[in-house]
Amino acid sequence: MATETMPLMKAINAGLRKALEEDPKTLLMGEDVGRLGGVFRVTDGLYKDFGEERVVDTPLAESGIVGTAIGLALRGYRPILEIQFDGFVYPAFDQITTQLAKMHARALGKLRMPVTIRMPYGGGIGSVEHHSESPEAYFAHTAGLRVVSPSDSSDAYWMLQQAVRSDDPVLYLEPKRRYWQKGALDTAAEPSIGLHQARVHRPFEGDAPADLTLIAYGPMVKTCLDAAAAAAAEGRRLEVVDLRSISPIDFDTVQACVEASGRALVVHEAPVFGAIGGEVAARITERCFYSLEAPVLRVGGYHAPYPPAKAEEEYLPGVDRVLEAVDRSMAY
């Protein structure tokens, strides 16, 4: 098939369709994923084509969705769940962290939990409370879970295939503010990059090392690429590492980049304290101590509940906050 250009959410839809076609044991489960096609229409058309046994509208109970998916997985099914919004995942937190994540280990490897949890996350869409959160650190902190987040259409499609095929539970975080961002997708050729490998973007001329390494994932990849483009216009060379995976993190790629550039800035929407940025900064310090020209800096959300929509642009990292932090790093 030729390469198509499509919005990220359509790529997820195509990816779900492929997963349902390829393995009769896959199921979609969630609130409003059937007749409605999901509140964002990500599952649009799948109920009609695969029926209510494969695309299962559930009662409105997140713990119940994850808990019953565990039982279905024990019976040999491969459930793909939707948690409708990031802020609604907490009723399922116990089933995810206490049951789903630990099942394989506590069964000494005799049970497997091939469950994919899709969840739109992050802000920037002007929504009400509890619809804009970034809870990824809670899950990355939990052994037994894999946590990934695509940032473009091709990754959205192919990382979903890899997540669904995995026999481990995978939290697949969808950058909801980028649902409508268009990108190229070749559904015929699976990229050689693995689910947990980072991808490096070097949007500047020449082969010389970057002046600084921006490290991001999900919705902040585009923000960082925009920042890099703005910096390039001023002659500053910023490379962008799209982590793609938050558990595990491809520290080898991060290390190679930062050893060359000597400067790193981690960007995510989640509040900075106790989050992925701190973990990345600590690892860079351990691995690249003698290469560093400046402390690793972080830009992210504030240690405050996600604000009402009219203030979210101030709360979320944007190009200007990224470039201001770049300036601070370069000043060392």
Partner 1 sequence: MTTKSSSVRAGGKGARGGGRRRTGSTAPASGRPATEAAELVQLLTPEGERAEHPDYSIDLTPEQLRDRYRDMVMVRRFDGEAVTLQRQGELGLWASLLGQEAAQIGSARAMRPDDYVFPTYREHGVAWCRDVDPLTLMGMFRGVSHGGWDPNENNFHLYTIVIGSQTLHAVGYAMGIAKDGADAAVTAYFGDGASSQGDVSEAFNFASVYNSPVVFFCQNNQWAISEPTERQFRVPLYQRAAGFGFPGVRVDGNDVLAVEAVTRWALDHARSGGGPVLVEAYTYRMGAHTTTDDPSRYRLSAEQEQWKLKDPIARLKALLTREGIADHDWFETVDAEAEQLAKRLRDGVRSMPNPEPSSLIFDNVYTEPHALVDEERAAYRRFAESLADAEQEGGR
Q: Which stretch binds partner 1 (CB under 8 A): 51-59, 125-133, 289-297, 298-306?
A: 51-59
**Number of residues counted as binding partner 1 (CB under 8 A):** 45
Q: Indicate whether 261 belongs to the interface with partner 1 (CB under 8 A).
A: no
Q: Compare residues 8 and 96 and give the one whose CB is closer to partner 1.
A: 96
Residue 131 appears among annotated catalytic residues: yes
Beta bridge pairs of residue 172:
118, 148
**Which residue from 99, 153, 154, 329 is in contact with partner 1, where contact means CB under 8 A?**
99
Angle at 48 between CA 35 and CA 46, to 5 degrees: 85
Report how far residue 115's alpha carbon sits from residue 118's, in angstroms, rounded to the nearest whole number: 10
Give the nearest distance from C-beta 90 to partner 1 in angstroms.
Answer: 12
Considering only 77, 85, 217, 315, the residue that binds partner 1 (CB under 8 A) is 77
Residue among 76 and 206 whose Cβ is closer to partner 1:
76
CB of 72 to partner 1, least distance (A): 4
Q: Which helix (H) or strand (E) holds 327?
A: helix 319-330
104 binds partner 1 (CB under 8 A): yes
Q: Which of 272, 262, 270, 269 lies closest to 238 in space, CA to CA?
A: 262
Task: List, in sequence order, every beta strand (DSSP E) within 74-197.
Answer: 78-82, 116-121, 146-148, 170-175, 182-185
| Burial label, 32 (beta-carbon count in 10 A; 0-12, 13-18, 19+) | middle
Does 53 sit near partner 1 (CB under 8 A)?
yes
Stretch that binds partner 1, among 161-169, 208-216, 290-298, 324-332 (CB under 8 A): 161-169
The region of 69-77, 227-235, 302-310, 314-322 touching partner 1 under the rule CB under 8 A is 69-77
Q: What whole-number distance in Å separates Cα of residue 105 and Cα of residue 38? A: 33
Spot the catalytic one: 104, 130, 131, 141. Answer: 131
Cβ count near 215 (within 10 Å) = 30
CB proximity list for 218: less than 8 A, separation 6 or greater: 121, 122, 149, 150, 151, 173, 175, 178, 268, 269
Residues that bind partner 1 (CB under 8 A): 52-53, 58-59, 61, 63-64, 66-77, 91, 94-95, 98-99, 104-112, 143-144, 146, 166-168, 196, 247-251
